Amino acid sequence: MRPQRLFPTFLLLLAACSRPADIQAQPLPSAPLGAAARLAPSDAAQVKLSFAPVVRKAAPAVVNVFSRRVVRQQIDPFWGMFGGMGMSRDRVAQSLGSGVIVRADGVIVTNNHVIEGGQEIRVVLGDRREFPAKVLLADPRSDVAVLKIDAPGEALPVLALDDHDDSQIGDLVLAIGDPFGVGQTVTNGIVSALARTGVGGDESYYIQTDAAINPGNSGGALVNMNGDMIGMNSAILSQSGTSSGVGFAIPAALIKRVVENALGGGAAATTGRPWLGLKTQAVTADIARTLGQDRPTGVLITDVYPDGPADRAGLKAGDQILSLDGEPVDDEAGLNYRVLTRRSGDEVTLQIRRAHGGAQTVKLRVAPLPGGAKDERTLSGRNPFEGASVVDLSPATADSLGLDPFAARAGVLVTKVGDGVAGGIGVQPGDIIKSVNGKPITSTAQLQAVLAEGAAVWRFVLLRDGQELGGQIRL
């Protein structure tokens, strides 16, 4: 697990690939609809009932995941003070987490932070069988990774993904994983909250539970009383680094979509990421008052991408989104989650309130982020961007690099800066080249053509963190 910023006195601890030929189209197991009625214990005999049947069903599919990588470290930092002449040696760094088998052909899900940077990944089953694993997809945005083990002829246990999003606060749940490497451990608790946002990345949308989750539990299963996986244990909020009863799990609906992306080809998680082509902000109490509403509800559209799904459906800045397919939307992360669990091409129904009108229903189709494969080029020659690597800026490219897709309307993005003029004058990765010698730049090919013309004096405009920076250099 690794620390993330959340509140000043707390730590949030976190508990690329083509489709292999041996993976055939196979649907993920789904839990049946119509969960049994939820009833509280009514007598002492019911209180003594055991979770053992649920554990027997779910636990065999929960595995240990070991990630190993070799890092080089300096033996004596003292010599680094004299030109870096100190001796160094290789050190093996290992991380331990959990995972869940979700398909009988050996597809396993875990957290991205469990295997991040791993050069060798191994999976150990509950019966102590051990297999090397390959990464089908590692998605840092959702913190979900999809692995594959080859076990021909072996009967692998599978845990069904309950992606119906019908969990309720107060439901009993079990957390299964390998905390601290002591071996498979089961803890119980309840669903403490749903739709927790703002406690992780920009796609954080968690099930909160008080079932004990500790380092090593990351990637393990959060299961309901039907023995189905409703979430992946991923993080805890703690002052000590151990469980304080505030744990977070990624919902199964998002996990299932990432698995489908992995089996359909790694590019599906980047260029194929679904979106509606709009930006939003939460409706605060102050905004609600200005809108003449008695309480904050929904999210407010602040921008619409030209010719995107929202634009084609007639949505405008100032419209208020109240729900998506009947599910309430209260903040941007919640809306993003609802969209990410849909497939590109799916039709969704938005309940909206117009800026100057009443509530109405709008239907639109989820689409992939615009932009194809990155056309990355490393620039050379006597010009201000010598040594920089650049790509065409599109919403898909920006999103894959963790940037705002709405900033990708014009310009060329700097991805790396090596040796050359660019590094010497302070060009940085993430800069957007807007113009060179008064000519607007819209593609890498156009940028190379402008630079090939040569000049005694170069004038250029960059966009950095939303601010335009002008520069001039004589070469």
Residue-wise pLDDT for 155-196, tens only, equals: 899 999 998 888 999 999 999 999 988 889 999 999 999 988
Query: What is the average per-residue pLDDT within 214-220?
Result: 91
Catalytic residue among 139, 143, 163, 331: 143
Catalytic residue, candidates 67, 204, 218, 394: 218
pLDDT per position as a tens digit, 272-314: 578 899 999 989 899 988 888 888 989 999 999 999 999 999 9
For the entire predicted model, the pTM comes to 0.76
161 vs 101: CA distance, rounded Å: 10
Q: Is 392 a catalytic residue?
A: no
pLDDT score of 6: 36
Has 143 been annotated as catalytic? yes
Domains of the chain, residue spans: 59-148, 274-368, 377-474
Top CATH class of 377-474 equals mainly beta
Domain 59-148: CATH architecture, name and number where available: Beta Barrel (2.40)
pLDDT of residue 98: 94
Compute the mean pLDDT over every residue in the chain, rounded to the nearest whole number. 83
Instruction: Average the pLDDT over 319-341 and give the result.
Output: 90
* Catalytic hit among 67, 95, 113, 167: 113
274-368 and 377-474: identical CATH topology: yes
Is the model more confident about 14 or about 444?
A: 444
Confidence class for position 198, pLDDT limits 50, 70, 90: confident
* CATH number belonging to domain 274-368: 2.30.42.10
